[in-house]
Amino acid sequence: MQVRCGCGQLSLTFNQAPVTQLICHCDHCREVTMQPSTLVAFFKAEPQGVVGRVINKPYMGGSGRPKAYAACEQCGDYVYADVSVLKGLIGVIGDKILPPFQPQPAAHVWTSQRVVEIADTLPQFPKGPAVRPGVN
Ligand SMILES: [Zn+2]
Ligand SMILES: [Zn+2]
């Protein structure tokens, strides 16, 4: 699976399909992607998977642990998030993933902060997901 920013300076490669995909309604995702909700695909981090220079924008996560969104140093596109509570996973912003990636979200998260109506029947979590991928 290939992930790329707008200018191509920053790219990520994953050999495995995402562990899960979630639609996030949190304020932080909205601020960095400028979309009302954001599809985030969580991949197992792979060595050498990230190529290019990034600027990190740190936030305190809803769980009280830090997270950082990584943008391309050149074009400023936000591409992925490193969430310390999700060990070993990288949360990639869905619209930066190249075909043949198919969005298949499993749930809505952080609906307590949502600003759009939800029209589908996926499970909804007011905060983070009940089961955290990658954490046991
Ligand atoms: Zn770029
Ligand atoms: Zn979010």
CATH number of the domain bearing residue 116: 2.170.150.70
Q: From CA 33, how far away is CA 94, in angstroms rounded? A: 11
Determine the structural domain holding residue 86 and report its residue range. 2-125
pTM for this entry: 0.91
- Is residue 136 predicted with pLDDT exceeding 50? no
Could you read off the pLDDT of 81-129 as tens digits, one per residue?
987 777 789 999 999 999 999 999 999 999 999 999 999 999 999 998 7
The residues whose Cβ lies within 5 A of ligand 1, an ion, are: 5, 7, 9, 72, 74-75
Q: Which residues contact 126 (CB under 8 A, 6 or more apart)?
A: 110, 111, 112
Question: What is the CA(79)–ligand 1 centre distance, in A?
Answer: 9
How many independent structural domains does the chain possess?
Answer: 1
Q: Which ligand is nearest to the CA of 40?
A: 2
CB-CB neighbours of 35 under 10 Å: 14
Q: If you measure from the C-alpha of residue 82 to the centroid of ligand 1, how many angstroms do you get, rounded to a whole number?
A: 18
